Structure 1
């Protein structure tokens, strides 16, 4: 386990002196909202909660939420919780997940959130790395009796579960959440939180290897959430609909903490179900949500789906994680008057975003991110002033300053993490100047070099005869073929060229496609011939991890000799 304090004193002194970090803590934000608006609605359960976990949906005010946080904190304290202990939590997006986070941070615990898709292999592996004292879950998730499964893993942790009837050996939370112990206030007063205290250990996607733990403190999270508050211009009058699991940057940094910062309403959604999602937008008068690019494209292609819902309350939608199609961004703006915010980030160092206020042109907003620090250009988010970026040629190590030359994005600033869990066992993610090596390849773009344009993940580049091929570019082109529902591009070994290009494609229902037709389609787009696929593999579905990223390593391994 890391020490509770994450960043060195010199960094804390510098960033607080600059005003980038403040003495706020997450629990202090909650207490401020409770004091300011105790009787206003705070959080809403998924509409399908009964089917999901066997409990009826709830709607809590800020005062009701705070009381439940105290009750859970009391239970944890009664079972021996101490500041700095690790609490693993595996819950869907429900009110109970919100309460588990906030109760843990009231006591100074470290939360490690686990996707509900994780099973014994992943949970036992990660538990060995963080040694949780507590494991909080629920009796049932869908058709799985989840708490009993976790008990069978024989973790060295106290297992606590929500639900009407849990197995022997599991602490029955719902029967114990009835009172606030007299010792709670004394404990909290005697154990004040430091903003540099670790509050979460999230996990990288693990597409290439065992997931790595990413510790974050109050300083980190509360700096990050300024960007996700300011890009959509959130206020206390907004209603947020959160469809992303609250286990990493998108759910926690993009939805949960902005909600807490401004004191609006958070509506939870899980698992993703399009009819329920659209119904929640209508029923709750949602003003802001986030959605993957593929869903936004689908909704534009099938207007009959939107015709059944009232989306008139929506102002903005956040998207990202993969390059956005300009036609999609323009379509939402022109047909529905809804701006798309383009986000780029990771658990380690979120920093880039393009919003309709700064970049009103949907074509530019889909393709570009701000290149912070360019003379003559300012960006409305304060994170732009805090973050330093540079591009570095991955082959020579020289800084890239000319447009169109690919370089690895490197970041420095108050939203960048302090280092991996057990970092002493790993190669440093930082370069000699202290910048985070993101592994993401960009080029300088725009009339004055004011933008960065995403090229690809450095590790996913296909190198054919010395020529670098960006899979993301090809995937976007292939996805435009009318027969294609989903696509991934990987390299496969070649004795002469090193690698050749393989397209792995999922077809639309009833469609057909062969390699010759795909090549003709791409040739019509006038792309360089060295990028053309030389192999086509058809699949029923692409392998993905629990957060939706394509497992390209798995695909590449299929083609090894």
Structure 2
């Protein structure tokens, strides 16, 4: 893994001197919780784990979690893993996924997590880019035989030395991690290795993946410094403490799952309850059974639940204090409805893998109308916000056409930001255009305007990028368009999202067929499935046209397509 230390020395010196970065590391936080409350409940499996992966749900204390962490770390060391090696992980939200992260960090490995929906197309590309030496998965996840699939294409990942899997009846060449960890008796070597290879907070700990609007996925490396800085936002907005119970329905593969749930849990030492895949009855039942105090959910689902009063009437929500939401604009009636009908405050988050860290919580902005629409504009005189991250982060708006800084209300500008929560740059960034401007600010690609009577707020205007966000998963239209364009019946194609009450957006392919050719949705889906792409990327709507709308320079007018299809699907 080239460039294991991520941030330049001058940035480390500045941010540590300011108190924005500390010497905390992931493993140090775990060890502190184990020492403080060894016999207290730490993590709980999904209630439907038996159906998901074929094993019964488990509940681990901090001491038990620490023991399993040591055992998996010992197995990895025994297989030749060394500090700086990359461990690819494709597991659902289970205790085993938590252990995988913690074991890797205990001995200085870098985790690159893959959603369980990823298939050969995505995994070969991303594991290759990350130079993964090890891959950990499960024998089966749902109806898919994941270990068998990986065994079939592992040769296409030259860096891959070992494949490990939980479960039984594994194919040849896949190591049975459950058997190996059970046999890992004396784990003293793990402590000795960790002591001899101390973690630097600037060491890379994860490589997550962002689709952006490009056809090639981009790796987002992060270290202890920036992960543990940005997680203060998700600790302080919901006011988390050790007596909280977090219900996590978001896959722990990117910002939402890792920073929204996993790292706050590790920081405060509360209980983490896992949920996967999303199932509304199970989710509502877990809130009551586990006495969850905080969870996260997509805006469309929160709106739907308010409309389905019979579902909420049958659920026990009395323990729930707040819900985090975001990624798309929140509707004021939804935020108001949860607050007035159920006494539950909605926290409005705006984030990305690269490090956007805007949030509006009920303590700072009690008015639900304002909380749904606005985010704090950090640095405005006379206004202070609860989270320390708001004092660390510099924001500005820039006119995307002229490059001039926007300071007047109501004038659209691209959001740019800088601070200790921002990533250091993309994996193999030397091959890519820099995401930073001449002042070192991250170009987010998202358009906002200044709002509020004193200019104290930012209001989201539009997503400058064309990303489709389906159930919290990012889908790059350019990637799908490239695959669809290879179909012999396709002359031209554009991929856009259209609104959905539960998932937020679904995928529509707008296709211009070749002369004399025919195409229907089922044939297109079969063609894409043959490319072995993740199922959540598959189009759920196909629209055939004689031509795509374009501007005078030939650019497809995707906003026009989105608006037209949205009208058709909501009539």
Measured against the shorter chain, the TM-score band is 0.7 to 0.9
- Go from structure 1 to structure 2 and tell me whether the alpha carbon gap of 1:493 and 1:23 turns closer, same or farther (over 3 Å shift): same
Unmatched tracts of structure 2, length 5 or more: 468-497, 511-547
**1:280-324 CA deviation, whole Å, 9 max, x = no partner?**
001000000000000000000001011111001000000000000
Structure 2 residue 126 is the aligned partner of structure 1 residue 120 = no
Give the alignment's TM-score, normalised by structure 1: 0.85
Q: 1:175, 1:164 → 2: CA distance?
A: 9
* CA deviation after TM superposition for structure 1 residue 130, in Å: 1.1
Partner of 1:493: 550
* CA deviation after TM superposition for structure 1 residue 164, in Å: 2.5
* CA deviation after TM superposition for structure 1 residue 410, in Å: 0.3
Q: 1:306, 1:27 → 2: CA distance?
A: 39
Structure 2 residue 199 is the aligned partner of structure 1 residue 174 = no
Q: Select the residue among 372, 375, 381 that pairs with 1:369.
A: 375
**1:302-356 CA deviation, whole Å, 9 max, x = no partner?**
0101111100100000000000000000000000000000000100013100000
Partner of 1:306: 312
Q: Select the residue among 198, 223, 226 that pairs with 1:217.
A: 223
* CA deviation after TM superposition for structure 1 residue 183, in Å: 1.8
Partner of 1:30: 30
- Go from structure 1 to structure 2 and tell me whether the alpha carbon gap of 1:485 and 1:295 turns closer, same or farther (over 3 Å shift): closer
* CA deviation after TM superposition for structure 1 residue 503, in Å: 6.3
- Go from structure 1 to structure 2 and tell me whether the alpha carbon gap of 1:495 and 1:13 turns closer, same or farther (over 3 Å shift): closer
- Go from structure 1 to structure 2 and tell me whether the alpha carbon gap of 1:23 and 1:453 turns closer, same or farther (over 3 Å shift): same
- Go from structure 1 to structure 2 and tell me whether the alpha carbon gap of 1:325 and 1:71 turns closer, same or farther (over 3 Å shift): same
Number of aligned positions between the proteins: 495
Q: Does the 8 Å CA contact 2:330/2:373 hold for their aligned counterparts?
A: yes
Partner of 1:419: 425
Q: Does the 8 Å CA contact 1:445/1:451 hold for their aligned counterparts?
A: yes
Structure 2 residue 153 is the aligned partner of structure 1 residue 160 = no
Q: Does the 8 Å CA contact 2:229/2:421 hold for their aligned counterparts?
A: yes
**1:365-423 CA deviation, whole Å, 9 max, x = no partner?**
00000000000000000000000000000000000000000000000000000000000
Q: 1:266, 1:298 → 2: CA distance?
A: 25
Q: 2:404, 2:239 → 1: CA distance?
A: 38
Q: 1:38, 1:89 → 2: CA distance?
A: 27
- Go from structure 1 to structure 2 and tell me whether the alpha carbon gap of 1:368 and 1:170 turns closer, same or farther (over 3 Å shift): same
Partner of 2:144: 144
Partner of 1:48: 48
Unmatched tracts of structure 1, length 5 or more: 462-477, 506-532, 541-561
Q: 2:201, 2:286 → 1: CA distance?
A: 35
Q: 1:485, 1:25 → 2: CA distance?
A: 35
SS at the partner of 1:492? coil
Q: 1:376, 1:419 → 2: CA distance?
A: 33
Q: 2:555, 2:140 → 1: CA distance?
A: 49
Partner of 1:336: 342
Partner of 2:462: 456
SS at the partner of 1:452? strand
Q: CA RMSD in A?
A: 2.3
* CA deviation after TM superposition for structure 1 residue 445, in Å: 0.2
- Go from structure 1 to structure 2 and tell me whether the alpha carbon gap of 1:89 and 1:379 turns closer, same or farther (over 3 Å shift): same
Give matches, 1:194-205, under 5 Å.
194-205=200-211
Q: 1:535, 1:199 → 2: CA distance?
A: 41
Q: 2:549, 2:194 → 1: CA distance?
A: 57
- Go from structure 1 to structure 2 and tell me whether the alpha carbon gap of 1:53 and 1:497 turns closer, same or farther (over 3 Å shift): closer
- Go from structure 1 to structure 2 and tell me whether the alpha carbon gap of 1:425 and 1:479 turns closer, same or farther (over 3 Å shift): closer
Q: Select the residue among 272, 281, 285 that pairs with 2:278.
A: 272
